[in-house]
Amino acid sequence: MMKIEAGRMPAVSQNQRKVQWQRWQRRAAPWMFLTPFVVLFLCFGVFPILFSLFLSFHSWNPADGWAGMKFVGLENFSFALGDEWFWKSLWNTALLALLSGLPQHLVAIPLAYFLHTSFKRSRNLVVGAYFVPYITSTVAVTLMFTALFSTDFGVINAALLWLAKLPLVGGLFPVEAVDWIGKPAFIQPAVAFIVFWRFVGFNTVLYLAALQTIPKELYEAAEMDGAGKWQQFWHITLPLLRPMMFFGATLSVIGGLQLFDEPFVLTGGRGGADQAVLTTAMYMFRSAFEFGEYGAASAISWLLFVIIALLSWLTHKIFGQHDEAAEKGEQHA
């Protein structure tokens, strides 16, 4: 009997080790698959953020090496807050974000509703046409508009001069070619229009997707109660689009305050006449790579992050108040 048990011990032990090995493999497999992503995220996501925060408390020029890094406390933040160019860039950024962001949603919502109700089979083709500017290279789009806004040969000036010759409405348009790129009063609307043109299709797709989730029974019931198209749009469509409006407005706030590509390409990175389109992101870029103030640039980036976080929170409060009130009303009912 002792010989039999002694003979079975190695086999049992081997089976246990095999089971334990299989259990370890099942537990380790998810971590093994996640490891490449985690390593890349830590290297290219977390580390730059933490290094930027660390750098915002130091004065450092990479040309001096690591030995040239000097701790300065909150000096970079106080410098940025007292810098008139920082406030000017912040004002330019806010103005461009408002001029380009608000029209996007004012146009995208009725446009999405029109596409949703008027097109059936060809809807995807039309939506794809509106979406093309969003997937087109920013540099290509900006260079195209640089030619369109040209003072002497631009199509936009040619169209305005032609409209100025029309009777009755001709007085509403300029009689001379507009220097869109060279004058501060015109370059801001020009940049805002480029940003609007690029992202209005993206927002249209967002709202169109939200419209397709609204039950048709609501519109049928409204029609039976005698509600017209405008009443349906105002009392059914708009309230049910609020979650997507919140999402779209949040993206516009974040994207608008990070505006960089369009004004940078249009003005060659200089900010245009009188620095009229020098955004905060552009000023941060110039502070680091042109002036060599990496610490100040990092401080500006964190100040911009705080502003974006506050405005995102404010957007949430504005769009969330109605939903909270509606939920309380349903609970009381």
> Phi/psi of residue 121, each to 5°?
-70, -35
In the numeric block, which tokens belong to residue 187?
């370059």
Closest CA to 132 of 142, 141, 121, 143: 141
As a whole-number percent, the residues of the chain with pLDDT over 70 amount to 92
- Mean pLDDT to the nearest integer, 16-31: 88
- Predicted local distance difference test score (pLDDT) of residue 191: 93
User: Using one digit for the tens of pLDDT, what is the confidence trace for 156-169?
Assistant: 999 999 998 888 88
pTM of the predicted structure, to 2 decimals: 0.81
- Predicted local distance difference test score (pLDDT) of residue 322: 60
Q: What average pLDDT is seen over the chain? A: 87
At residue 1, does pLDDT exceed 50? no
Instruction: Kindly state the helix (H) or strand (E) to which residue 196 belongs, with its residue range.
Output: helix 184-211
CA-to-CA distance for 190 and 81, rounded, in angstroms? Answer: 29
Q: How many CA atoms lie within 13 A of 304 on its CB side?
A: 29
Tell how far CA 289 is from the center of its chain. 24
At residue 6, does pLDDT exceed 80? no
User: Using one digit for the tens of pLDDT, what is the confidence trace for 48-103?
Assistant: 999 999 999 999 888 788 888 889 989 999 999 999 999 999 999 999 999 999 99
User: Using one digit for the tens of pLDDT, what is the confidence trace for 119-146?
Assistant: 877 888 888 888 888 998 989 998 899 9
3-state secondary structure of 209: helix
- Mean pLDDT to the nearest integer, 183-201: 92
- Non-local (6+) Cβ contacts of 69 within 8 A are 58, 59, 60
- Predicted local distance difference test score (pLDDT) of residue 271: 86
Q: Could you list the beta-strand ranges (E) of 51-92.
A: 58-59, 70-71
Per-residue DSSP letter, 172 = G
Q: How many CB atoms lie within 10 A of CB 118?
A: 10
- Maximum distance among all alpha carbons in the chain? 116
CA-to-CA distance for 245 and 277, rounded, in angstroms? Answer: 27
- Predicted local distance difference test score (pLDDT) of residue 87: 95
- Predicted local distance difference test score (pLDDT) of residue 2: 46
In the numeric block, which tokens belong to residue 126?
């039309």
CA-to-CA distance for 25 and 30, rounded, in angstroms? Answer: 9
- Non-local (6+) Cβ contacts of 298 within 8 A are 52, 53, 55, 56, 76, 288
At residue 5, does pLDDT exceed 70? no
- Predicted local distance difference test score (pLDDT) of residue 100: 92
5-19, 238-252, 275-289, 318-332: the lowest-pLDDT one: 318-332
pLDDT, greater one: 144 or 2: 144
- Predicted local distance difference test score (pLDDT) of residue 102: 92
| CB 212 within 8 Å of CB 244 | no
CA-to-CA distance for 102 and 99, rounded, in angstroms? Answer: 6
Distances in Å between the Cα of 161 and the Cα atoms of 3, 57, 103, 191 are 108, 54, 25, 21
- Non-local (6+) Cβ contacts of 162 within 8 A are none
| CB 105 within 8 Å of CB 252 | yes
- Predicted local distance difference test score (pLDDT) of residue 168: 81
